[in-house]
């Protein structure tokens, strides 16, 4: 499921991934069995954490932090 006001670039591979509102996913991201928001992620085993404290920060961000620089879909 994809939330509202998200920006998912081409080249992103998602399988059984819930994407929260206002989440931007950059090219090259491959996700499976995740819940992702612009700030946090959770895996199916219940582990997770902050996007900014993980390697996901290279791919995941908040669309609102870049308003005016992109088109939100």
Number of domains comprising the chain: 1
Q: Provide mean pLDDT across the span 52-63.
A: 96
In a domain, 46, yes or no: yes
Q: 25 lies in which domain range?
A: 7-66
Quote the CA–CA distance of 32 and 12 in Å, as a whole number. 11
Q: Provide mean pLDDT across the span 52-69.
A: 86
In a domain, 16, yes or no: yes
Q: Could you tell me if 8 and 26 are in contact, meaning their C-beta atoms sit under 8 angstroms apart?
A: no
Q: Provide mean pLDDT across the span 36-55.
A: 96
| Confidence at 47, pLDDT banded by 50, 70, 90 | very high
In a domain, 48, yes or no: yes
Q: What is the pTM of this model?
A: 0.84
Q: Provide mean pLDDT across the span 17-26.
A: 97
């Amino acid at each position: 499921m994809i939330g509202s006001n998200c920006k998912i670039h081409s080249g992103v591979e998602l399988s059984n991934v819930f994407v929260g509102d206002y989440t931007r996913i950059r090219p090259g991201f491959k996700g499976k069995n995740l819940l992702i928001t612009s700030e946090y992620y959770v895996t199916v085993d219940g582990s997770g954490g902050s996007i900014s404290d993980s390697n996901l920060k290279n791919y995941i961000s908040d669309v609102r932090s870049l308003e005016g620089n992109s088109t939100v879909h």
